[in-house]
A and B are shown apart, each in its own frame.
Chain A
Amino acid sequence: MKYIDILERKLGRKVTKAEIEAFTVMWSEHCGYSHTKGYIRQLPRVGFGGNAGIVPLDDYHFIAFKVESHNHPSAIEPFNGAATGVGGIIRDILAMGARPTAILDSLHMDKVTEGIIDGISDYGNSIGVPTVGGELRISDYYKYNPLVNVMAVGVGRNEHLIPSTAQKPGQVIVIFGGATGRDGIHGASFASEDLTGEKATKLSIQVGDPFAEKMLIEAFLEMVEEGLVEGAQDLGAGGVLSATSELVAKANLGAIVHLDRMPLREPDMNPVEILISESQERMAVVTSVEKANRVIEIARRYLLFADIVVEVTETGRYVAKYNDGTVIDVPAKLLEESPEERTYGYRPVEMPKFNWIKFKNVDAHGVFERYDYMVGTDTVVRPGYGPAVIRVKSSSGYSLVIHSRADLGLQEPYWAAYITLLECVRKTLSVGARPLAITDGINYADPDVQPEGLAAQMKGLKDACEFANVPVASGNASLYNTYKGNGIPPTLVIGMIGKLENLNVPRPRKSAIYAIGFKDFKLERERLLWNEIERIAKAGYFIVSMHDFSTMSTLKQELQKIGLDMKVKSPKCEPVHQLIMVFGDVDTKLPKELIGYCN
C-alpha cells in the first residue's frame, strides 16, 4: 500500500497538499527508518533514543556518539555533501549537552575523491573538532555511490545531559543558528524515496557554513552551562518540522509553530518551504518563557539568528501557522509513526569460506594529514596506528574505532557483520581499552529488491553484539545506494567506543615482531584471543590488529616518523583470521611466529 493511502486512512480524510509535503519528509526512509526500525528494535541497546547514543565514561562524564551517512549528497556535490555531513552529526552530539571532541570518517569510493576529503577537512578543521581516525576503502563497487559515513563523539558532564524531548505544556522552543533558505528542501526524501513510491531525484544542495557551526557550538554550550536548555534537537533532515515535532511527540505533547517568526535568508519562501527547509547550522532549544530571552541574547552575541518559534501545548496536535493561517494541523505522534516495512527472519548458516577481495591500497597519510587531528590537545594515539585514543583532561580516556568489511559483505552479509564487530572488539582491546558500546552505520542497496541481505546483516550484528556483550547506543541507515539498478555491497560501518582506565597506552618500540594467533577463524576461539590481547596490552606490548596485514605502508611510515624502522614479512592468513601482530617477545599460549623486527 502506498504511504499516502495509509496516511489518509489514519487521518480519516483526504490529505492536503501541505500535509503531503510534510509527510513525504517525515515518512521518508531517511527520517522514518521504515525498513530498518524493526531490526533496530531487536538489537541489544544502551543509552538509545536521543539525538546520539549515551554511555557513562566515569562518575562525572558521559560520552555521546553517533555515526551518520551523507552518501547521496556527497555523490551529487562531494565538497558540500561531505562538509554538511560533518556539520549534521556534530550537532547531534551537541544536542545531548556534550562538547564535540572527535570526528572519525569511513569513506568508500572508487578513487580518492578530493572534494570529499576537502569537504571534511575544511569543515572539521574550522570548527576545531579533531578528525582522529577513519578508514578509506577504495573499490569500483562505489563508483556511483560513494559512502561518506562520519562518526562524531562528544564528552559532557552528567549534570549537563540534555533530553531530546520537551517536558510540559507552557515551554517554548527557540530556534537559533543561521538564517533559513531553500537549501536542501526535500533532502530527506531525496536521500530515500518519496511518498508516491517514486524514487526522488530532485537536486538538493546544502552548503556548509563552518563558521556558523562553530558559533552554534559555543553558543549552545554556554546556554547549557547557564542551565537554560531543558531539551534540544538539531535541525537536520526535515528541518523545523522534524526537530520540533520529535521534541513534542516523544512527550505526548503538542506544538503551535509560528513559521512567520523564522528568520529567512530568502524572503519569498512559502510557509511549507520554511517548515521543511534543511538549511544547515540550526538548533531547536526547549526552554521556559522566562529563560527564552536569555537564550536569544546568547545566540545573537554569537552572531546567530534566534527567535521563539514554538509554544509547547498539551493538545498532542502539531499545528504550524503562518500569521493567522494554519498550514498544517495533525496529530504530532502521527508524524513520528512512519509506516513500518516488514522485517525478514534470517537463520544463520555456517560461515562460508571467504575469498580475499582486495580493495585498493592507498597511503592514508595523504588524507589524514589534511585533517587537524590534534586540536583540543587530547589526541593520545593519532591516526595511522589504527584505533584512536583520546583523553579527557582531569579524567581517563576513551578509544575510538571505525571499521567495516564490505569485502565480506559482498560474499555473505551475516558473517560480514558479525566479523566486523569482533574485529572492532580486538582493535579496542589492543590499546588497552574495554568496549563500551557501538554505533552502527547501515549502508545498503535496495531493501525492496534484496530484503534478505539486510535481514542477514542485521541478524549478524545482533548476534555479534550479544556474543561480545556490547550494546548498540545509536545508529543510522542509508538505503537505496544504487545506480541503474546496481547496488553497493552490504556495507555495515561500526563505530566502537572503549574505555581506558589509564593512559599508559602501549607504544611501539625497538623489538622483535611476532604474529600471534590463528590464520583462520573459529568462533569458539574468539574469547581466548580477546583475553590474550587484553593481557598483552596490559603488559605494555604494542599490538596491531588488522584484517589485512599485506599492506602496512601507513603504519610503517608512521613508525618512521618516530625513528623506528619496521621490517616484517606479512603473515599469510585467511580473509577472516584471528591473528595479531605484537611488538616484543611476550609469553603466550597461542601460536606465535617471529615475522620481523622494529629497529
Chain B
Amino acid sequence: MTASFPKAQVVVYPGSNCDRDALWALRYVGFDAEFVDIRSHIGSDVNLLVLPGGFSYGDYLRVGAVAAREPISSEIRDFMSRGGLIIGICNGFQILIEMGILPGALLQNSTGKFICKIVELEVVDNETPFTRYFERGEKIHLPIAHGFGRYVKTNGLVNSQDNVIFRYAQDVNGADELIAGISNENKNVLGLMPHPERAIEKLIGSDDGLRVFLSAFNYIKTSSENMLQKTKVGVA
C-alpha cells in the first residue's frame, strides 16, 4: 500500500467565484484537488471539502440560502458525520450557516457596504485540524472581501467559547465579539469570512493563509499514517 496525497474537492455552486483560487491554493500545498459540480457526487476517498467564496445564485434571495438547499447538501452532511474536514470560506461559510451545520447568522456589514482589505486576525484556537500550524493568540493577516460578513450569535446556538477559531483584531464589520471564524463542536468543520486561499504567497500580499491548508494537509497525513500504523500492528 502506497501513501497517497490527501484528496480535496472544491464544491462549485452556480455563482461561486473563488473556486479556482481555492483549487490553486489546495494544489499549491500538495493536495490532490479537483472541482465537484453540485449535480455530481463527493468522492468516497475525499479528505477535505472546500465550499468556496462567491455569490451563489447571485445571493439574490439571502446569502447562501439557495445553495444550502441543493441536493448535494445531504452528501455534505454525510461527509461531515463521517468526520471529513470541511472549510467554508466567505460564501461557503454563509452556505454552511444556512445549512445549519454551523450556528449563528451572517448579516450585512455594519458599514452597509462591501469591504475588501487585508485585516489582522487573532488565532483563538490552535487545536483544530485547520489551525495546528498557528500559535494560540498569534496575530495573522488575511484578506476579507464581503458585504454580508457580520457574524451574529443566535439564541443559545453558540453555547461556548470553544467554537470561535478566529477573531478580528479590530472591528471591521460589526461582528459579535469580533468573530471571524468558527467551527462545529467536533471541530471538523471550519467556517470563516476571511480568505485563506488568497493569502498563500507573499507576492500577492500575505502567506498566512497557507498554514490553514498546511494544517489540514498535515492533519490528514498524520491521521492516515496512524491508521496505517494501527493496521500494521493489527496484522503483526
Question: Which residues of chain A have a CB within 8 Å of any CB of chain B?
Answer: 118, 121-122, 125-128, 209-211, 214-215, 302-303, 368-380, 382, 391, 393, 503, 561
| Chain A residue contacts of B118, Cβ below 8 A | 561
Residue of B nearest to A128 (CB): B17
Q: Which of B20, B55, B113, B203 contacts A391 (CB 8 A)?
A: B203
Q: How many angstroms from the CA of A209 to the CA of B55 in the assembled complex?
A: 12
Q: How many angstroms from the CA of A497 to the CA of B40 in the assembled complex?
A: 40
| Chain B residue contacts of A303, Cβ below 8 A | 14
Residue of B nearest to A371 (CB): B116
**Chain B, interface SS category:** mixed
Q: Min CB distance, B81 to chain A, in Å?
A: 30
Asked whether A210 and B55 contact (CB < 8 A) given A125-B114, A302-B14, the answer is yes
Q: How many angstroms from the CA of A584 to the CA of B59 in the assembled complex?
A: 47
Q: Min CB distance, B93 to chain A, in Å?
A: 16
| Chain B residue contacts of A121, Cβ below 8 A | 113-114
B96 contacts A by Cβ under 8 Å: no
Q: How many angstroms from the CA of A376 to the CA of B116 in the assembled complex?
A: 14
Asked whether A215 and B14 contact (CB < 8 A) given A128-B54, A370-B114, A380-B203, the answer is yes
Whether B60 pairs with A211 at a CB distance below 8 angstroms is: yes
Asked whether A210 and B204 contact (CB < 8 A) given A375-B17, A376-B21, the answer is no
| Chain B residue contacts of A211, Cβ below 8 A | 14-15, 55, 57-58, 60
Q: How many angstroms from the CA of A151 to the CA of B203 in the assembled complex?
A: 24
Residue of A nearest to B118 (CB): A561
Q: Which 5 A-B pairs have the closest CB atoms?
A: A128-B17, A211-B58, A126-B55, A372-B145, A377-B21
Per-position binary interface string of chain B over residues 15-51, scored 1 when its CB falls under 8 Å from any chain A CB and 0 otherwise: 1011011001100000000000000000000000000
| Chain A residue contacts of B122, Cβ below 8 A | none
Whether B54 pairs with A210 at a CB distance below 8 angstroms is: no
Whether A372 pairs with B114 at a CB distance below 8 angstroms is: yes
Whether A214 pairs with B115 at a CB distance below 8 angstroms is: no
Whether B204 pairs with A377 at a CB distance below 8 angstroms is: yes
Q: Which of A210, A214, A373 contacts B116 (CB 8 A)?
A: A373
Residue of B nearest to A215 (CB): B14
Q: How many angstroms from the CA of A125 to the CA of B195 in the assembled complex?
A: 14
Whether A374 pairs with B205 at a CB distance below 8 angstroms is: yes
Q: Min CB distance, A6 to chain B, in Å?
A: 45
Residue of B nearest to A114 (CB): B113
Q: Which of B103-161 contact A (CB under 8 A)?
A: 113-118, 143, 145, 147
| Chain A residue contacts of B57, Cβ below 8 A | 211
| Chain A residue contacts of B20, Cβ below 8 A | 376
Q: How many angstroms from the CA of A391 to the CA of B197 in the assembled complex?
A: 16
Q: How many angstroms from the CA of A215 to the CA of B54 in the assembled complex?
A: 12
Q: Min CB distance, A467 to chain B, in Å?
A: 34
Whether A374 pairs with B17 at a CB distance below 8 angstroms is: no
A-B contact pairs, 21 of them (CB 8 A): A118-B113, A121-B114, A125-B114, A126-B15, A126-B59, A128-B17, A211-B15, A211-B55, A211-B57, A214-B15, A215-B14, A302-B14, A368-B116, A369-B116, A370-B113, A374-B145, A379-B204, A379-B205, A391-B204, A393-B24, A561-B118
B7 contacts A by Cβ under 8 Å: no
| Chain A residue contacts of B14, Cβ below 8 A | 211, 214-215, 302-303
| Chain A residue contacts of B211, Cβ below 8 A | none
B198 contacts A by Cβ under 8 Å: yes
Q: How many angstroms from the CA of A391 to the CA of B118 in the assembled complex?
A: 19
| Chain B residue contacts of A122, Cβ below 8 A | 114
| Chain A residue contacts of B58, Cβ below 8 A | 126, 209-211, 214
Q: Min CB distance, B195 to chain A, in Å?
A: 8
Q: Min CB distance, B187 to chain A, in Å?
A: 27
For the complex with contacts A128-B18, A214-B15, A374-B205, 19 further pairs of A-B residues with Cβ separation under 8 Å are A121-B114, A125-B145, A126-B17, A209-B58, A210-B58, A211-B57, A211-B58, A302-B14, A303-B14, A371-B114, A372-B114, A372-B116, A372-B145, A373-B116, A374-B195, A374-B198, A375-B53, A378-B204, A561-B117
Whether A382 pairs with B55 at a CB distance below 8 angstroms is: no
Q: How many angstroms from the CA of A247 to the CA of B218 in the assembled complex?
A: 54
Q: Min CB distance, A113 to chain B, in Å?
A: 14
| Chain A residue contacts of B117, Cβ below 8 A | 369, 561
Q: How many angstroms from the CA of A443 to the CA of B222 in the assembled complex?
A: 62
Q: Min CB distance, A533 to chain B, in Å?
A: 23
| Chain B residue contacts of A126, Cβ below 8 A | 15, 17, 55, 58-59
Q: How many angstroms from the CA of A382 to the CA of B203 in the assembled complex?
A: 11
Whether A375 pairs with B115 at a CB distance below 8 angstroms is: no
Which residue of A128, A303, A370, A503 has the most chain B CB atoms within 10 A of its CB atom? A128
Residue of B nearest to A303 (CB): B14
| Chain B residue contacts of A373, Cβ below 8 A | 116
Per-position binary interface string of chain B over residues 198-223, scored 1 when its CB falls under 8 Å from any chain A CB and 0 otherwise: 10110111000000000000000000
Whether A125 pairs with B55 at a CB distance below 8 angstroms is: yes
Q: Min CB distance, A226 to chain B, in Å?
A: 16
Q: Min CB distance, B182 to chain A, in Å?
A: 23
Whether A127 pairs with B143 at a CB distance below 8 angstroms is: no
| Chain A residue contacts of B204, Cβ below 8 A | 374, 377-380, 391
Q: Min CB distance, B54 to chain A, in Å?
A: 6
Q: How many angstroms from the CA of A390 to the CA of B116 in the assembled complex?
A: 17
